[in-house]
């Protein structure tokens, strides 16, 4: 089945540590997105990528980094500069260039501080 796979489902970070969240899709989508979700809040955009080797900052990019070396993959690194990383992280993808196509989401990674 086609879909978006996020791993791991749960992740713990120590002080001063960088951690990387994986996002893989087999939907042949060009565009991929990372969102952060805090309790009782909507989804906030961290980074997005429309094409391989290109990405842009979203609304809350500070303390995060991404890469897009393959169409299928868009990993997110939560760096030690992100002082409040505890949240639910969601990856999404969609077709680029087709008007108003929906975003499809993975099942998220829950990141906590040790």
Considering only the stretches 12-20, 65-73, 76-84, 89-97, report the one whose residues sit in contact with other proteins under the rule CB under 8 A. 89-97
Using CB under 8 A as the binding criterion, the count of chain residues that bind other proteins stands at: 29
Smaller CB separation from other proteins, 2 or 40:
40
- Using the 8-state DSSP alphabet, how is residue 102 labeled? P
Supply 103's token pair.
Answer: 């975003």
Considering only the stretches 13-21, 36-44, 70-78, 79-87, report the one whose residues sit in contact with other proteins under the rule CB under 8 A. 36-44
| 20 scored as a contact of other proteins (CB under 8 A) | no
Spell 84-98 as b/e; 16+ CB within 10 A means b.
Answer: ebebebbbbbbeeee
- Choosing from 14, 16, 84, 99, the residue that interacts with other proteins (CB under 8 A) is 99
Q: What angle do CA 75, 69, 56 make, to 5 degrees?
A: 70
Smaller CB separation from other proteins, 6 or 82:
6
CB 104 within 8 A of CB 55: no
């Amino acid at each position: 089945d086609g879909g978006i796979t996020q791993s791991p489902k749960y992740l713990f970070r120590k002080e001063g540590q960088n951690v990387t969240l994986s996002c893989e899709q087999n939907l042949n989508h060009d565009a991929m997105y990372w969102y952060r979700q805090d309790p009782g809040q909507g989804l906030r955009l961290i980074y997005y990528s429309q094409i391989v080797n290109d990405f842009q900052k979203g609304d809350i990019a500070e303390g995060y980094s991404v890469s897009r070396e393959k169409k299928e993959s868009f990993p997110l690194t939560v760096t030690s500069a992100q002082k409040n990383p505890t949240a639910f992280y969601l990856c999404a993808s969609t077709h680029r260039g087709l008007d108003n196509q929906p975003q499809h989401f993975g099942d998220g990674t829950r990141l906590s501080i040790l």
